[in-house]
Amino acid sequence: MMILLTAATIAAIANIASAQFNYSFPDCANGPLKSTVVCDTSKDPATRARALIQMFTDEELTQNTDNVSPGVPRLGVPSYQWWSEALHGVAGSPGVSFASSGEFSSATSFPQPIVLGATFDMDLVKAIATVISTEARAFNNAGRAGLDFFTPNINPFKDPRWGRGQETPGEDAFHVAQYVFNLINGLQGGIDPRPYFKVAADCKHFAAYDLESWEGIDRFHFDAKVTLQDLSEYYLPSFQSCVRDAKVASVMCSYNSVNGVPACASSYLLQDILRDFWGFDDDRWVVSDCDAINNIFSTHNFTSSFTEAVADAIKAGTDVDCGTTYSKNLPAALNQSLITRDDLERALTRQYTSLMRLGYFDPPASQPFRQLAWTDVNTPGAQALAHRAAVEGLVLLKNDGFLPISSKGKKLAIIGPYVNATRDMQGNYFGTAPFIVTPFQGAVDAGFQVQSSSGTNINGTSDAGFEEAINIAQAADIVIFAGGLDNTIEREARDRVTVAWTGNQLDLIKQLASVGKPIVVVQFGGGQVDDTELLSNDAVRAIIWAGYPGQSGGTAIFDIITGAVSPAGRLPITQYPANFVDQVGMTDMSLRPDSANPGRTYKWYSGAPVLEFGHGLHFTTFEFSWQMQPPARYNIQQLIRSAGKNGPLDLAAFDTFPIRVRNTGNLTSDYVALLFLSGDGGPTPRPNKSLISFARAHGIKAGSSSTLDLKVTLGSVARADERGDLWLFSGSYQLVLDIGDGVLTHNFVLMGTDTRIVRWPQDPSA
């Protein structure tokens, strides 16, 4: 059986690829499918999709496996672009088009996920995702976006050099897992919503992906060597939360190989773990990262031809190729019997079942989301939420009591590369914002008398602008320095080579310090830079980490500086000393310290961090107490019996720890409670400590108290052995509230027989 592409098919594909994508819906009222099972809404989505796919010819099957699907005109199935983006708001991408002006010329631009991670506010994350999906649906109804969005990025931010760390909520696997659960809930309109997804989200990049390009090794060639213990305990919990618990519609396999097998050709990852272990069923689909199918042969040299590469990928479980390698080579794979028609039908049935669940084939009147329009985009509520997110995500790294300050009668010199930042405030994967408040504008709006100067470029080596900066500093009462990281270096396809301040920004701050005016440094960027010098400089009275705060960033920064809102954000990543980059290579995927690795993240790092994960100062003071004294011992077997058989054991309750937080200062403030666990149970080396629960209390007034219920699961207490199995290990443990030595501690003993609560799938090829 030989499949040859017709001239009409080739022309249709070329036209779709070259034009701004125009979305339409199948016509089930008058089109060719109107009397078929496909349009029968009384049938389940999988049955309807299967009936549709069985009508496709072999050629039509092979040509609808790319992200730009030409559809099947003879059946009234329109072309479709699977690739839209919405990382922190509807974003420019192949499937999203913004109008040049007027309606649909913008979408709400929320802070980057790394800033949302710093809020430790999961209700906020869900609310933001709900707004994003509402705006995404409105764009789709106007023909300006698809229904499938390649978001979120949930690879934990293990190495501070990673260029895409800004796209993630942070370095801790438990924290990322809670983030993604709430995000998917908001994006898709609930946990496995019926009958309709609001939009289809996509968790990426599966798996062990956190390198772009480092010392000649890039993500297209990289083979991540990862132990089962690290996969189970660190690299994959966020994906388990996304797939098993939040029921995400799709997953993206990554560019890299994992233990010798390209991720998009790995049946161990895509079948054994994803589908068999986590229950990723056949109304959900896997898409490759863009051109990752091509890389199976071209860079990983895993096969001897592209034909073999596409066969391996589709049989392993990659259903959609973000690229054109499938459509170009699947016909030959089918002709050579490397794949069967059943393989193709399975892939397309998964795709179209998902579209059925998005209401793609259903009457508009039957769907709650087909009525959303431009009036549902950039609403006052959405803009207020973007502002709130920016405020909650700012982290006060240093303050000697100088902040907050009144703007009344104050002359302010605002200096640095981010003074007039606009798009740089958004980070990457952004859309057109309705407005962006720059740091300069934020200062003006706050009532300061403001003069400004960039002083230097973000990576500048010339001091030509220093004189102007120093002159305006001399004429001011207060100096604000707005600088940090370069988003053209810290981004996709590029990793940082240093975690030190770039260019001559520190030199400029030193010279500004000599003027004798108080300095507040506002530090931008998704990752951290070594602030040792600024922390020890007495002229630098305060440091605020702002990340990439989005459209209301300038307003949020000066809300904190003036005390309109009190800071309560916490660092979602460790701030390492600059020499960390000389101690371990980015290609080393191990977490635990050894002779060639100081350890990764707060859980394993054996050195002295500049600032710890979870660091964040306040304008007020708090007192803490246990609402009820926790037990001194727990019995493993009793915990297992109490869990019963309802759901996975790792999600079963261990205990709930209510804590009372009393504001003993003079200002209303939020407080983020971080509960850590350390102990002597389980394999060595053990983590320094592990985050096991967190919550954010809002608006605790001076003299008032709030109670937070910190819920802990068996999975949070468990540890992974070398096979990746999760165990409850007997031993002595300590609960610690907050970072460092904590503000509240409790010791307990876990008694009984060590018990495995999760059996991790073993790699049959290992």
747 Cα distance to chain centroid: 34
Q: Catalytic residue at 289?
A: yes
Which DSSP state fits 129?
Answer: H
How far apart are alpha carbons 547 and 421 in whole angstroms? Answer: 13
Q: Is 309 helix (H, G, I), strand (E, B) or coil?
A: helix
Q: Which string of b and e fits 147-174 if b means at least 16 CB within 10 Å?
A: bbbbbbbbbbbbbbbbbbbbbbbbbbbb
- Element (H or E) spanning 662, and its range? strand 653-663
Identified catalytic residue from 289, 650, 721, 725 = 289
How far apart are alpha carbons 118 and 111 in whole angstroms? Answer: 11
Token pair of 404 as six digits:
């907050």
Q: Is 603 helix (H, G, I), strand (E, B) or coil?
A: helix
Token pair of 638 as six digits:
């009793």
Token pair of 208 as six digits:
């062990």
- Element (H or E) spanning 764, and its range? none
Q: Name the residue type at position 407.
A: S
Q: What are the beta bridge partners of residue 519?
A: 479, 540
Angle, CA of 163, 164 and 166, to the nearest 5°: 105
How far apart are alpha carbons 418 and 442 in whole angstroms? Answer: 12
Token pair of 231 as six digits:
């996969």
Helices of type H across 475-619:
505-513, 532-536, 553-561, 601-604
Burial of residue 54 (CB within 10 Å: 0-12, 13-18, 19+) is: middle
Q: Is the peptide bond before 94 cis (omega within 30 degrees of 0)?
A: no
Which residue's structure tokens are 């800004």?
A: 166
Q: What are the beta bridge partners of residue 84?
A: 149
Residues known to be catalytic: 289
